């Protein structure tokens, strides 16, 4: 197309940082790499400001880079100019007046429902299916991110792998970056773990297990919901950003909440990463380091089905001992009991998991990343 594609991306923040994290990455990538003109509608600018410097949580409209950011009150959206492509992230409902304006547009926009990432097999059969509006002359298409060529793919910015490789090879820059944030350089034979998860009863005994280990452990914890469990393990009433506490062979450093680039550097710096939700889950995979995923808990153990679907894909080419150690640790952590008992077996398999992580990351880009597949799908319908 001769003129840039104009895209409205709506995001209703539910999980504090995961929803807006994915939406913001996608908006920037569509702007910077694909040349689309992006307008991001967000209902929770305070959460957004935690991961993106420069966001004014009180502004009705603002521009970050070239992306226009609009404070959105769900149910209301002034349709001053309906975009060529309209994306509702994670099933957030578009305002009725906006839908009406879409229908009145001379050429109806491409309407996308961007779903949550899933490794479940049914995703391939549902990806890109149309859903006609019950009243208006509009059709919405369901776009499912996933781990196969018949899905919408996963978010990965151009050049991310090269950035990671440069960072992991430059220990001097790593040490300087961490020292500027008040974190002492890595000691000989010390192993680093990042911990960014939801509340989890398995954390306290696990940290106590690390303290009693023969290995020297450093656990880096961004200030988040898990801090109460961490404080309990260390015998502290509470913890806050900037705190550093030693217990036996364990040192815990509490980090200020960081922007997305800083979070990537945290994951790239650690030997093992413990992450949560969707956005940090994918960033852990791009870090190509062994990781545990604290999936968002759901009723009737629905989250365990999703976890096992991912593990089935991720471990398909692993040897039996490595697969069993990883699955046992993942299950223990997500059932909030027993991680300490399975930790040593998991750690013993981390050399194999690290090698596998590099191969897995490369495999996920076969067929294109999410932004590339989304652009191809939409622009074919705009011609």
Q: Catalytic residue positions? A: 19, 278
Helix boundaries (H) for the chain: 18-32, 45-51, 96-104, 123-126, 160-169, 171-179, 203-211, 227-234, 260-269, 279-287, 302-314, 320-334, 339-348, 350-363, 370-382
**Which of 184, 187, 188, 168 is closest to 176 using CA atoms?**
184
Coil, helix or strand at residue 106: coil
**Which of 139, 89, 140 is closest to 116 using CA atoms?**
89
Coil, helix or strand at residue 338: coil
Structure tokens at 291: 């990781």
**CA gyration radius for the chain?**
22
**Which of 263, 131, 145, 118 is closest to 194 using CA atoms?**
263
Tokens 């502290």: give the residue.
Answer: 236
CB neighbours of residue 129 within 10 Å = 12
N- to C-terminal Cα separation, the chain = 8
DSSP per-residue letters across 188-248? TTEEEEEE--S--TTHHHHHHHHHTSSSEEEEEEESSTTHHHHHHHHT-S---TT-EEEET
Determine the Cα–Cα distance for residues 50 and 53; give it in Å rounded to an integer.
7
| 285 in Cβ contact with 291 (< 8 Å) | yes
Tell me the CA distances in angstroms from 295 to 223, 246, 301, 333, one per residue in order.
18, 29, 11, 10
Tokens 């000989």: give the residue.
Answer: 188
């Amino acid at each position: 197309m001769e003129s840039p594609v104009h895209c409205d991306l709506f995001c209703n923040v539910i999980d504090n940082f995961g929803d807006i994290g994915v939406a913001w990455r996608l908006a920037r990538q569509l702007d910077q790499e694909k040349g689309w003109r992006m307008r991001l509608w967000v209902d929770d600018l305070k959460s957004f400001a935690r991961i993106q410097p420069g966001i004014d949580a009180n502004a009705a409209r603002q521009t970050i880079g070239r992306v226009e950011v609009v404070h959105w009150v769900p149910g209301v959206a002034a349709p001053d100019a309906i975009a060529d492509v309209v994306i509702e992230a994670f099933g957030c409902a578009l305002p009725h007046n906006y839908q009406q304006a879409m229908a009145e547009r001379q050429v109806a926009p491409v309407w996308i429902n961007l779903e949550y990432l899933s490794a479940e097999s049914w995703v391939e059969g549902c990806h890109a299916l149309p859903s006609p509006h019950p009243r208006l002359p509009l059709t919405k298409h369901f776009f499912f991110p996933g781990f196969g060529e018949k899905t919408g793919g996963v978010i990965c910015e151009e050049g991310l792998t090269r950035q990671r490789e440069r960072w992991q090879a430059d220990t001097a820059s790593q040490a300087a970056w961490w020292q500027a944030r008040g974190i002492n350089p890595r000691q000989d034979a010390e192993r680093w773990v990042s911990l960014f998860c939801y509340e989890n009863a398995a954390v306290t005994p696990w940290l106590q297990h690390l303290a009693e280990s023969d290995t020297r452990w450093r656990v880096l914890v961004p200030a988040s919901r898990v801090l109460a469990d961490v404080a309990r393990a260390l015998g502290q009433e509470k913890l806050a950003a900037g705190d550093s506490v030693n217990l036996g062979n364990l040192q815990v450093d509490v980090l200020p909440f960081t922007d997305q680039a800083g979070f990537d550097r945290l994951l790239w710096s650690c030997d093992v990463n413990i992450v949560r939700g969707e956005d940090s889950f994918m960033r852990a995979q791009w870090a190509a380091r062994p990781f545990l995923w604290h999936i968002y808990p759901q009723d009737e153990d629905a989250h365990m089905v999703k976890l096992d679907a991912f593990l089935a894909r991720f471990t398909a080419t692993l040897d039996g001992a490595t697969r069993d150690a990883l699955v046992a640790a993942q299950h223990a952590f997500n059932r909030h009991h027993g991680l300490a008992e399975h930790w040593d077996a998991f750690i013993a398999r981390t050399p194999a998991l690290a090698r596998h992580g590099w191969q897995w990351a490369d495999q996920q880009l076969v067929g294109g990343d999410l932004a590339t597949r989304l652009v191809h799908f939409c622009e074919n319908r705009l011609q």
